[in-house]
Structure 1
Amino acid sequence: MTLLRSLVLTLFMLIAGIVPALANPMLVVDRDTLDVLYAQEAGQPWHPASLTKLMTAYVVFEQLAAGTVTLDTKVIISRKAANEPPSRSGLQVDSALTLKDALYVMLVKSANDVAMAIAETVGGSEEKFVAMMNDAARRMGLTATHYVDPNGLSDEGQVTTARDLAVLSLYIEQNFPQFMPIFGTRAVQLGKTRLESENKLLAHFAGTTGMKTGFICESGLNIVVTVDRNGRKLMAVVLGGQSGRDRNERAAELILKALSGSIKPTGQKVLGLSNLTDREPVNMRPSICGKEAAAYRDAQEAAFPMGLKGQPSYLTDEIEERIYTATNLGRLRDGIVLPRPRPQHVAINPVRPSVASAEVEGDLRGGIAAETAQAGDVPFPVPRPSFLN
């Protein structure tokens, strides 16, 4: 297809209303200053897909800090968890992981079965855990965010915005920096199975430190990515991509524009962005998985060909992979472990570390004004030693 034909096709589709009139949400934030460097429909409600797991992880981190669970807590794959749609870990019903390994599998592979199992383990049930997620969203001021499940599968009630996703990601980094290496892990080795991240910037865009991708038909392809380069700490959010190539290349382009200075501070802080709560979330299913998908793909590729065969790409770096090895502990049922060799262990009267008081955090890298903080806002975490590989 020639460039002229592509442009004509794109124009026709716009006129015909096949291509959504609403521009896909995109956002670039300086993580040190919280300055908004670029914002496009950042407050438009959108389905988060597996970006939901950012909040699932945050709730777990809070419970680890509170001491209600530990990194060695066993996470068992229930039948309900095992029946969650892909992507999945491949673990059988009653298989177990430590909570630490489960976090890696959930965040790197985006495993829906493990996300459900974590919710059941930490919350006692999916419903109770989801209530904890929504409570955390309220305390963070994520005014357009609502959760229905812990993994982000299709549900019209599972909603967020690019603005809220950026704020959530900033809270994760500030309050729980010791867990950030999980989000920067390229693959998890689980037995003979290699579980890979769909965040291709981790392998091919220098300075990438995390965080998460997501996809369902209703959302298109989403990404939150953090990059540390040239002394800058940046974050890009891209929602509703037509393909993995589309979202990854667009995120890289936004970061490069911020680094080059071609996009500059808008004068707003990310916390000052407004959520458009009077709007309905966009449903991308017709354009991504429906009868309009082929025409929409052609139009998007014509408008943004980066990374296509024969076209230049921003993802050209070769970066050493961070790989984590997780262990399947075998099948557990009713708390009884099947026999296996165990090392001798002598109890030494461990002392549980003190839990942080419910101090009002009231500040996100200097970005939340003290007067906006309310009792019960997200507190600082208990200081923890680094434990990650």
Structure 2
Amino acid sequence: MRVRGFAPMVFFLLICLPASIAAHQSSESTSQEAQASGPNLASVNAAVAVIDEDSLVFGKHADRPVPIASLTKVMTALVVLDSGEPLDEWLTFTERHTPAAANAYTRIRVDSELRRGEALRIALMSSENFAAYTLARSHPGGFDAFIEAMNAKARELGMDGTRFVDPTGLSADNISTAADLVQLVKVAAKHPEIREYSTTGYHRAHFRNPRYSLSFGNTNALVHRQSWGVELSKTGYLSEAGRCLVMISEMNGKQVVTVLLDSLGTRSPMGDAGRIKRWLDTGAPGQVAKAARRYEQQKNAAYAAAKTNTVSATN
């Protein structure tokens, strides 16, 4: 497993956010207490909240800043909509002005065009990285202004454990906490476009110059299951971040925000969502596979070791 970007993330936590660390200490203790009586999860970090309530229903290392991969695109969508730029405007997919931090494979042709609304839809539902990049590149003031707007929005929302360096999530230096992402999702859910686009099951995008079309599918299998009542969804993956998921869905008769960060397997976040749903319904904590538990132990040990080494290096 690659760990590139992990040390810079910890350095940011300990050096650039000292006030945040102090503020998080008491809430970390609360998260550990909630974890003791909550569901068993494969995800290393997690948070659960009812959408119209301020406190977490459950937290597991909910205040630990970690890489969030393509969950980044929820903030990307929020900044795009906040800009007020027309969704029916045609955007041009120009070559990247800087190399992508990770594999950025795409089927979209360079120099072709797509409407901003469609680009936003496929960025959210199918995690299309070239679409997310193009949305940022087309922002008033350009790419750098877009990144500044992402971080400004995070500060506005009180997301003290969050930092963005790119709009796609391909960089492991995009970090946040499960608790911060709960706040982000609650605000994003106020935009009907984000709810609709992120939960679209399938979409065929129509490009021009040249004229062609591409089909896209949602990366979250639960949006296809009516019983889940998914209202907002975003998945993410990097080797540094593990499997990640944010979602609003119906659980125990309520709209529940679920944030799951750093799971081992492709289906682990879906399994965790099911365990959370059963826990809210019945109180049963559920069981996690031994491989997932070992992965969690290894990641927690790596976080602790990196934190100790960074503290020693700065003393």
TM-score between the two structures when normalised by the length of structure 2: 0.71
- Of 136, 143, 146, the residue aligned with 2:163 is 146
**1:1-389 pair list within 5 angstroms:** 24-64=44-84, 69-80=85-96, 84=100, 86=103, 88-155=105-172, 157-174=173-190, 176-190=191-205, 193-204=214-225, 206-229=228-251, 231-261=253-283, 299-300=291-292
**Range 143-152 or range 83-92, more displaced:** 83-92
Change (3 A) 1:116 1:300: same
Instruction: Please say if residues 86 and 112 of structure 1, whose CA atoms lie closer than 8 Å, have aligned partners that are also in contact.
Output: no
Amino acid at match of 1:71: L
Change (3 A) 1:122 1:259: farther
Amino acid at match of 1:107: L
Unaligned runs of 5+ in 1: 1-21, 264-296, 305-389
Unaligned runs of 5+ in 2: 1-41, 206-211, 297-315
Q: CA deviation at 1:119?
A: 0.1
Amino acid at match of 1:238: L
Distance 1:123 1:149 in 2: 16
Instruction: Please say if residues 43 and 262 of structure 2, whose CA atoms lie closer than 8 Å, have aligned partners that are also in contact.
Output: no
Distance 2:137 2:228 in 1: 37
Change (3 A) 1:23 1:193: closer
Q: Any idea what the Cα deviations from partners look like across 1:298-350, whole Å, max 9, x if unmatched?
A: 7228899xxxxxxxxxxxxxxxxxxxxxxxxxxxxxxxxxxxxxxxxxxxxxx
Q: Give secondary structure in 2 for the equivalent of 1:208.
A: coil
Q: CA deviation at 1:61?
A: 1.1
| Pair member with larger Rg | 1
Q: Any idea what the Cα deviations from partners look like across 1:180-209, whole Å, max 9, x if unmatched?
A: 111111222235532122211112452222
Distance 2:253 2:264 in 1: 32
Instruction: Please say if residues 48 and 214 of structure 1, whose CA atoms lie closer than 8 Å, have aligned partners that are also in contact.
Output: yes
Q: CA deviation at 1:34?
A: 3.2
Q: CA deviation at 1:106?
A: 0.6
Distance 1:226 1:87 in 2: 27
Change (3 A) 1:52 1:72: same
Which residue of 1 is the match for residue 308 of structure 2? Answer: none
Instruction: Please say if residues 89 and 109 of structure 1, whose CA atoms lie closer than 8 Å, have aligned partners that are also in contact.
Output: no
Q: CA deviation at 1:177?
A: 3.3
Distance 1:46 1:119 in 2: 23
Change (3 A) 1:89 1:189: farther
Q: CA deviation at 1:256?
A: 2.7
Q: CA deviation at 1:33?
A: 2.0
Q: CA deviation at 1:179?
A: 3.4
Q: Any idea what the Cα deviations from partners look like across 1:112-168, whole Å, max 9, x if unmatched?
A: 11111000101442211100100111111100100000001133x321000111100
Distance 2:295 2:229 in 1: 27
Change (3 A) 1:123 1:147: farther
Q: CA deviation at 1:32?
A: 2.1
Amino acid at match of 2:187: Y
Instruction: Please say if residues 89 and 105 of structure 1, whose CA atoms lie closer than 8 Å, have aligned partners that are also in contact.
Output: no
Change (3 A) 1:23 1:230: closer
Q: CA deviation at 1:24?
A: 0.7
Distance 1:253 1:95 in 2: 43
